[in-house]
Amino acid sequence: MYETPELAEETFTRTSAIRLYEPGDFEGMRVAGRLVAEALDMITPFVVPGVTTQEIDDRIRQFTLDNGGLPACLGYKGYMKTVCTSINHVVCHGIPGDRVLKDGDIVNIDHTVIVDGWHGDSSRMYAVGNVAPRVKKLVDVTYESLALGLEQVKPGNTFGDIGFVIQRYVEANRMSVVRDFCGHGIGRLFHDSPNVLHYGRKGEGAVLKPGMFVRIDRRGRRQRASGGVGALGRCCKARQRRVYPLPVHPPTASTKAARGNSLATTS
């Protein structure tokens, strides 16, 4: 639906190869990542009981356009919304509409922007009003496992190292990793190689190199006697709080500060 001059001049297609970007490309990713983070900050006071997910979508779309970005999801493969709003047992890709948020819900808002051809892709988990302690623990554990995974993102490590520490921490807390979805490469493309799994074995998978941009997209679920996942895209209450596209280099102090708290609480 939308096209920038940069995308019109140069065509990027996904291949099996992991794309390596140049040092000069990092600033474009930082700008895009900053805008999507600001959009998720902006919407926080509006994620309250009685609000519809469509209102959330409308506000984020207008904010993105007003601040020089384009909503990457709008028109993507026929999708006609700006964000995904995944409530409670919906793992991801929930579609905004007339669903009204209720006290005790948790909702993940997943947003991607395009700025000068660069994709900034992030999501945040919001607690609507007062959530049950077991739900807050689930969100905290998934966020903490994300932080552990980010610590493994450095040249010389492997993608298996990332998945290993995430899986180990989640399972130590009597939860399990949702394996139906994964993270991905990002940059000039919305979804690029590689697929980033949130489980795995140390030392396995591709080696991380400077210039890679990836999204680590953690999802967990509470253990239940029945086990298993229901319909595709649904499970017990789950998902990470926030994700940033991450260049493969040690995180700076400002990057760590930007991660914030594990749960955005609204009332």
- Residue 72 in any domain: the answer is yes
Residue 104 pLDDT: 97
- Residue 4 in any domain: the answer is no
- Which one-letter DSSP state was computed for residue 137? H
Separation between Cα atoms, residue 140 and residue 146, nearest integer Å: 10
Sign of CA dihedral 152, 240, 255, 12: positive
Per-residue pLDDT band for 105 (boundaries 50, 70, 90) equals: very high
- Residue 58 in any domain: the answer is yes
Mean pLDDT for 189-194 is 82
Secondary structure percentages of the chain, helix, strand, coil, to 5: 30, 20, 45
Place of tokens 């010389």: 156
CATH value at residue 238? 3.90.230.10
Place of tokens 């979805």: 181
Best-predicted range by mean pLDDT (1-5, 132-136, 182-186, 219-223): 132-136
**Beta-carbon contacts of residue 86 (< 8 Å; ≥ 6 apart):** 92, 93, 94, 107, 108, 110, 239
- Residue 74 in any domain: the answer is yes
Provide the residue range defining the domain that includes 258.
Answer: 21-266
Q: How many CB atoms lie within 10 A of CB 158?
A: 18
- Residue 14 in any domain: the answer is no
Mean pLDDT for 233-261 is 38
Residue 264 pLDDT: 54
Residue 177, SS3?
strand
Separation between Cα atoms, residue 121 and residue 215, nearest integer Å: 7
Residue 181 pLDDT: 74
Position 107 pLDDT exceeds 90: yes
Each residue's pLDDT tens digit, 214-230: 888 765 554 332 222 22
Separation between Cα atoms, residue 187 and residue 34, nearest integer Å: 14
- Residue 8 in any domain: the answer is no
Each residue's pLDDT tens digit, 27-83: 999 999 999 999 999 999 999 999 999 999 999 999 999 999 999 999 888 999 999
Domain count of the fold of the chain: 1
Per-residue pLDDT band for 244 (boundaries 50, 70, 90) equals: very low
- Residue 2 in any domain: the answer is no
